[in-house]
């Protein structure tokens, strides 16, 4: 894919991996950015950073993808007067803790953000992309958590398993249209989510297996540009992904749980 001078939409662009991917796309590929998130002030700061520095256009689009109707509204705003060439569906939320302690409201928000809005936006944008003379692509950001059940991030891992399965199936269905689908499945990333979820009690930037967000973003954009179907960044992560396939699943679940248990809040 050639992003230069073309519009690329990035959800979850106000922080973490989404923010860094927007920077990589503008700085290294000359892409125009449709930056999507809930926090307008951060999107305006991103526009003011990227537009004058790299000579690209940056349009902030405020959206809360946990809310009904937002995917349709976002799509209409994104394509109004524009040919969108690339779509990166990166927005996501997690819950770290005992699965049965997650409130129904939090679970529904997670399901809407991580799954339902992703499916709806994929449906809307693939139609737009396939109608273009130079078909672009979609990247769905999953996680290594989707490769195996993950205690204490149980529901989150299940949503990311859906993203992997859905994305790979969609990639096959679209293979004759010229529209590519890339599933990006990183391991741990040093982002705001690490702090907000409570995972930072046991993991931090610089730890083995925790990748810097800017490094991860560069690998993600490269995989997208190369139209990779499924990409796990980092040699250690790829080794772990292979281990999840060949070792007994019960063993891997227990090992993962052991790593996470040290980061749990004490139960009352």
Question: Which comes out higher in pLDDT, residue 252 or 90?
Answer: 90
Letter string b/e over residues 91-125, b meaning 16 or more CB atoms within 10 A of that residue's CB: bbbbbbbeeeebeeeeeebbbbbbbbbbbbbbebb
Q: Which CATH class is domain 7-261?
A: alpha beta
Question: Which residue has 């490769």 as its token pair?
Answer: 147
Tallying the residues shown for the chain, one arrives at 268
Give the span between the Cα atoms of 207 and 251, in whole angstroms.
23
Local structure of residue 267 (DSSP, 8 states): P
Mean pLDDT, the chain, rounded, equals 91
Question: Which comes out higher in pLDDT, residue 132 or 109?
Answer: 109
Domain ranges of the chain: 7-261
pLDDT confidence tier of residue 29, bands split at 50, 70 and 90: very high
Q: Is the pLDDT of residue 205 over 80?
A: no
163, two tokens = 């993203």
Residues forming the active site: 156
pLDDT confidence tier of residue 247, bands split at 50, 70 and 90: confident
Bridging pattern class, strands 32-37 and 7-11: parallel
- What are the tens digits of pLDDT across the range 45-58? 999 999 999 999 99
- What global pTM score does this model have? 0.90
């Amino acid at each position: 894919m050639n992003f230069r001078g073309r519009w690329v939409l990035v959800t979850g662009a106000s922080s973490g991996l989404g923010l860094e991917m927007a920077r990589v796309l503008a700085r290294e590929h000359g892409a125009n950015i449709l930056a999507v998130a809930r926090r307008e002030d951060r999107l305006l700061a991103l526009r003011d950073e990227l537009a004058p520095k790299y000579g690209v256009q940056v349009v902030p689009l405020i959206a809360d993808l946990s809310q009904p109707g937002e995917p349709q509204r976002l799509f209409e705003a994104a394509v109004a007067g524009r040919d969108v060439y690339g779509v990166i569906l990166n927005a996501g939320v997690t819950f770290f803790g005992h699965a049965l302690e997650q409130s129904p409201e939090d679970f529904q928000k997670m399901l809407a953000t991580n799954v339902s809005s992703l499916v709806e936006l994929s449906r809307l944008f693939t139609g737009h992309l396939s109608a273009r003379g130079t078909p672009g692509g979609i990247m769905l950001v999953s996680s290594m958590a989707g490769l195996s059940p993950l205690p204490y991030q149980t529901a989150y891992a299940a949503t990311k398993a859906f993203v992997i399965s859905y994305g790979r199936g969609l990639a096959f269905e679209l293979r004759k249209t010229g529209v590519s689908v890339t599933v990006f499945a990183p391991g741990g990333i040093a982002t705001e989510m690490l702090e907000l979820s409570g995972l930072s009690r046991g993991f931090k930037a610089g730890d083995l297996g925790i990748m810097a967000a800017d490094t991860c973003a560069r690998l993600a954009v490269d995989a997208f540009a190369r139209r990779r179907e499924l990409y796990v960044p980092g040699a250690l992560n790829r080794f772990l992904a292979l281990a999840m396939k060949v070792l007994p699943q019960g063993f891997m679940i227990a090992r993962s749980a052991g790593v996470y248990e040290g980061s749990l809040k004490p139960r009352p």
